[in-house]
Amino acid sequence: MFGFKRRRRESWRNEPLPQQWKEIIERNVPYYCYLNPKERDELHGHIQVFLHEKEFEGCEGLEITDEIRVTIAAQACILILNRDTDYFPMMSSILVYPRHYFAPSSKRLPGGLVEEGIQARAGESWKRGPIVLSWDDVLRGAADPNDGHNVVFHEFAHELDSGSGSMEGAPVLPDSTMYTAWARVLGTEYNKLIEALERNHGHLIDAYGATNPAEFFAVVTETFFEKSVQLKIRHPELYDQMRAFYRQDPASRVADCGAE
């Protein structure tokens, strides 16, 4: 069974990416220009597998088009370049709303109280469930590859995190020897972010990363890919941990493109 799955995926990866799909990626995913030719070829193959295996469902009347499918798939698959991958195996479907959607939320308050309410969302990821995305926010997040905000990177980082069995900011790492340094560096940086916010100090990493370790990993993923040079300079140990996990060096890509 597993041999058949591998052969089928290999067949899909070898299918040429339609020209109109490449045009969608070039138009909607500017980060694509940072990839070298080898990485672009690998990305094309991953997109083919992703789109064969994942289901898309439009919500609130949104019609799912190739533009939606390819734009989301391209960004999700950037996260799995240069790695052995099983293509986000805990997730089989993506729900796409036309814009921000509203969902129940709960917030734990001091003293153990829980505040219930309704919250506008751009996306969310459920353990062993679907990913939910706002199409407007997908486009907005992709439009500027240097602003540190990308909802697809964020939600699919949660999917990678869930590969360990839970979403707690500790994904399955490439080597068992990495866990000690990972816990030390990410734990230290997470606490520094919380401390900076408590003191009303500015920070490169978005404040939402202080919510919990899982959100910290997802937010740092956005920063790693979209503010890579700044992260490497200001938080070199954190950058090195993310580089080892993702097996990518986005700061070098930016330098090669002459961008900041």
Tell me what pLDDT residue 121 has. 80
- Mean pLDDT, the chain, integer: 91
> What mean pLDDT is predicted for residues 48-53?
98
pLDDT at 1 over 50: yes
pTM reported for the whole predicted model = 0.91
Helices (H), the chain: 2-13, 19-28, 37-53, 66-78, 135-143, 151-161, 179-198, 213-226, 228-234, 236-246, 250-257
For residue 120 the two structure tokens come to: 């506008």
Reported as a single tens digit per residue, the pLDDT across 214-233 is 999 999 999 999 999 999 99
SS3 35: coil
Tell me what pLDDT residue 165 has. 77
Q: How large a percentage of the chain has pLDDT more than 70?
A: 91
What is the spatial distance between Cα 255 and Cα 88, in angstroms, rounded to a whole number?
30
Residue 141, Cβ density class (10 Å: 0-12 exposed, 13-18 middle, ≥19 buried): buried
Reported as a single tens digit per residue, the pLDDT across 132-177 is 999 999 999 999 999 999 999 999 999 999 987 778 898 999 888 9
**Domains of the chain, CATH where assigned:** 168-260 (3.40.390.10)
What is the spatial distance between Cα 78 and Cα 107, in angstroms, rounded to a whole number?
32
Tell me what pLDDT residue 166 has. 77
Is 203:193 a contact under the CB 8 Å cutoff? yes
